[in-house]
Amino acid sequence: MPTIYRVIPAAPDEVVGWIDQEDGSIYDGAPGGEERYLGQIDYEEGEIYDDAEEFMGWVEDDGQVIASYDDEIEENLGHVDPDGKLYVYDGEGEIQVGQVEDMTDIVEGAAALLFFFDTAA
């Protein structure tokens, strides 16, 4: 089960969510603890939807994560490395903000960026 961590400099990483690969559901909180359903991954299309089934964004084949706001504005939010490291662009470059442990598809990393690390949403 992919587990999403927030990278905290000089401290242990924090578990912020997880993904149920059986149905693509995304949850906040630690697996087995208190959790809240956030949305859904469409593995075939590489797309992510929130809990109201609103389109949030997608991942390109090279790991670039594109956020979609109000069906009109698209933004390159960051990227996912094949090893699950999550990066966002901060205006000067990119910074690692998280990690998806046990990631099996880059769309899982894209979902993690969109739900837990998109400060514009």
Q: Report helix, strand or coil for 38.
A: strand
Give residue 121's pLDDT.
47
Per-residue pLDDT reduced to its tens digit, 25-39:
999 987 878 889 999
- 80-112 pLDDT tens trace: 999 999 999 887 888 999 999 999 999 999 999
Q: Are 111 and 28 in contact (CB under 8 A)?
A: no
pLDDT for position 10: 84
**Calpha distance 121→118 (Å, rounded):** 6
Contact 86, 103 (CB under 8 A): no
Rounded CA gap, 88 and 83, in Å?
16
Check if the beta carbon of residue 39 is closer than 8 Å to that of residue 28: no
